[in-house]
Structure 1
């Protein structure tokens, strides 16, 4: 493999890492609060509001059920409005973030629902406000599971970012299509697959490590 191709692989790796990193950050900023709202506004919870909960859940489900490649094309006008282009890494961040937010919200919702509601009731009996229950009880108790949920979201985004290359999103997916598929370069295709697998392994290992650390801290606190 030539030096130019190695440089191209390195550039594509950076583009993928950039897309996934920014999208994951945006997804965490919006998805975690969204997951909290989905739980706390459900029946019998601290901020019960069933009409709002059902409406929000329907919107989340609708977004999650849309295939990513269709979502990318469908929101091109919105992408152009945000970043003034529909191709490239910055443009790909918009649909990646929109796809990841509801995914992470549901993962966070599941993690928070695993928290023993007796702990929440005990906090209410002690006079804790909803904000205090959320920040000092629900999220800390569910934090290891939330970390694993963020890990799963990042891994999904790595796969989505490869699909983004199909319509000029840049990154390893774009490289695999333009050089590996269209120019019949099996070595390039194989290299991109190996790099993507390595990325997933690194992310999963880091997520597992931090989740274990948080679990150990919780165990020591008991």
Structure 2
């Protein structure tokens, strides 16, 4: 399910969507939320492509990319590093949404030389993500369930989706590998990487939605601003 100007391909073992290949300036690399895929960014890429080159990736164990043998935040950051190396980018901006906001921050703390900026969209906090254990256990046990995926979509969206987008979100959710699903809920979301955030040297923009019931803008802004002096804007 791609737009007329999106190219679907496999690069370095990752399934990716790309657009705007002939544009100048830093390429925008887009990372998706927990239970999502590169398709999350399809409509955004349609808007970016006239002026920017952009690439959205299925992270390991999500969408159509194979899972990792071992999951940690560092091995996920390694995967992002491998993708960037395979793309041969001279300069790029990195955008991470929710789960991948945390992954992007861990990667950016390595100070990759071609990275020019970081955009964090409703990012999972660098501190342990607040989630009560009953909710966490329900999420763990709901892997692969369409009914649970539908309920999740209802929670994380402010307005009803059209049928095509709804099916996209549900099918991406249930397609997540069991390894990636369990890792994020049991470990990745709990790990504290606060010490790494201060090592990021590129400008950071933090974006949040006023109707987001999970990662509120106030929570994101307070958490990230306290840890980094590189925050340029909070939207």
Same fold (TM > 0.5): no
* More helix, by proportion: 1
Compute the TM-score of the two structures, normalised by the length of structure 1: 0.26
The structure with the larger Rg is 1
* More strand, by proportion: 2
